[in-house]
């Protein structure tokens, strides 16, 4: 039997039962008779998003069974055939996997800080978000923070990459000054390559002048 994710990494199938979550996790749980069946269940990630899973047994000419919604499930028997997709109840999920799900890391948190035109200075509204970012980081035992700088389409791609990096670096310094370990904050730049608002070249767009912060 093979299990392949279409939108994210999926757990490999085991000889008993597999719980597939949206993140890169492998979870095995008993089924009533693990010698004769493998249960595969698709569950949402901690942030509520649900990807897809494709489950293929080892039967000759086996066709994949697609799991596309939260709690969809299929069983693969010893003959390598998969059963019709069913929905596992929320109560059953909690009963079987509750303690395991409670032990998973919390969902990533995202913040977006906006900048003044051609500047690495935050807007007043974005400055007001800094305490919330600090609280989010300090609420995790081993935080990982990524600050990604972006620009609008004014200027050249090369200069915008540099400006995006300058903005991300400024945010790292701001968080470090507030007490965070700078070694835990990764900085990178997309320049004008990942616009929040699609615009032509040489267009001023405040929402594209930003640093996106991801906290895991």
Tell me the C-alpha distance between 176 and 123, whole Å: 19
Considering 103, 130, 164, which residue would you say is the last residue of a domain?
103
Q: What is the pLDDT of residue 117?
A: 85
Is there a single domain that holds both residue 70 and residue 123?
A: no
Residue 130 and residue 64 share a domain = no
Phi, psi of 35 (to 5 degrees): -80, -15
pLDDT computed for residue 192 by the predictor: 97
Q: In tens digits, what is the pLDDT along the chain, a chain of 216 residues?
A: 555 433 332 333 333 455 555 443 333 333 436 667 888 888 887 667 788 888 888 878 888 899 999 899 888 887 888 888 988 888 888 887 788 777 777 788 999 999 988 788 899 999 999 999 999 988 888 889 999 999 999 999 999 999 999 999 999 999 998 888 898 899 999 999 999 999 999 999 999 999 999 998
Number of domains in the chain: 2
Domain-ending residue, one of 51, 81, 103:
103
How far, in Å, CA of 141 to CA of 179, rounded?
A: 15
Paired tokens of 111: 């913040």
| E strand or H helix at 143 | none
What is the domain extent for residue 39?
A: 2-103
> Based on the domain organization, do 83 and 23 belong to the same domain?
yes
Whether 15 contacts 39, CB under 8 Å: no
pLDDT at position 58 is 80
Same domain, 61 and 116: no
Q: Which residues contact 40 (CB under 8 A, 6 or more apart)?
A: 3, 13, 17, 18, 19, 20, 53, 55, 67, 73, 74, 75, 76
Whether 45 and 122 map to the same domain: the answer is no
pTM assigned to the model: 0.62
* Domain CATH for 167: 3.30.1330.60
Q: What is the pLDDT of residue 12?
A: 31
The residues, any chain, with a CB within 8 Å of residue 20's CB and separated by 6 or more, are: 3, 5, 10, 11, 27, 40, 41, 42, 43, 53, 67
Rg (CA), the chain: 23
User: How many C-beta atoms lie closer than 10 Å to residue 148's C-beta?
Assistant: 21
Last residue of a domain, one of 56, 80, 103: 103
Task: Say what the pLDDT of residue 9 is.
Answer: 29
- Residue labelled with tokens 């000889």: 15
My answer on whether 35 and 66 are in the same domain is yes
Residues 19 and 85 in one domain: yes
Are 124 and 206 in the same domain? yes
């Amino acid at each position: 039997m093979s299990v392949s994710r279409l939108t994210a990494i999926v757990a490999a199938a085991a000889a008993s039962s597999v719980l597939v979550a949206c993140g890169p996790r492998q979870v095995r749980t008993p089924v009533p008779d693990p010698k004769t069946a493998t249960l595969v269940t698709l569950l949402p990630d901690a942030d509520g998003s649900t990807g897809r899973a494709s489950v293929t047994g080892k039967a000759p000419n086996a066709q994949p069974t697609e799991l596309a919604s939260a709690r969809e499930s299929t069983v693969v028997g010893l003959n390598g055939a998969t059963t019709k997709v069913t929905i596992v109840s929320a109560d059953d999920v909690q009963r079987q996997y509750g303690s395991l799900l409670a032990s998973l890391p919390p969902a990533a948190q995202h913040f977006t800080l906006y900048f003044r035109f051609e500047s690495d200075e935050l807007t007043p509204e974005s400055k007001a978000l800094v305490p919330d970012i600090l609280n989010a980081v300090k609420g995790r035992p081993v935080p990982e923070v990524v600050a990604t700088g972006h620009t609008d389409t004014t200027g050249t791609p090369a200069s915008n990459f540099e400006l995006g990096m300058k903005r991300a670096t400024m945010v790292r310094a701001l968080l470090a000054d507030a007490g965070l370990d700078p070694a835990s904050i990764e900085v990178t730049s997309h320049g004008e390559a990942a616009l929040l608002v699609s615009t032509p070249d040489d267009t001023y767009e405040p929402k594209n002048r930003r640093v996106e912060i991801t906290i895991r």
